[in-house]
Amino acid sequence: MKLEKMEEPREMKKKAQNKAKENEKFLDRDAIIALYTASSYCIPKYLWREWSSELKQNGVFWQLFLRAISACKREIVDWAEEKISWEELLKIIKNKLEALR
């Protein structure tokens, strides 16, 4: 499966970081970051827009794609906290997609 490299969504990461700095009493930092990056309207939607055609041709539809993204939630949080690069995150997601096919 040939998935194109995508530009890093820096605004999304910055928004998650800023929200995590706010004093939220009902969610911990990682949960807030995951909410603003890993939920279906953030990273999954961003990647799906570019990759959906290739993924569908390879039998990966939205539900399976979301399952792969969910399995990478820790790594998505690590990316938002700048513990891993965008390129590393994409590689992890691509490997998870390959494993689920």
Global pTM value: 0.87
Task: List Cα–Cα distances, 5 to 9, 43, 87, 89, in angstroms.
Answer: 12, 14, 8, 11
pLDDT digits (tens, 9 = 90+) for 8-62: 999 999 999 988 888 666 788 888 888 888 887 799 999 999 999 999 999 999 9
Q: Are 10 and 101 in contact (CB under 8 A)?
A: no
Taking the CA atoms of residue 33, residue 14, residue 63 and residue 70 in that order, the dihedral angle to the nearest 10 degrees is -30
The first and second tokens of residue 43, run together, are 């990273």
pLDDT digits (tens, 9 = 90+) for 69-84: 999 999 999 999 999 9
Show me where the domains of the chain are located. 10-100
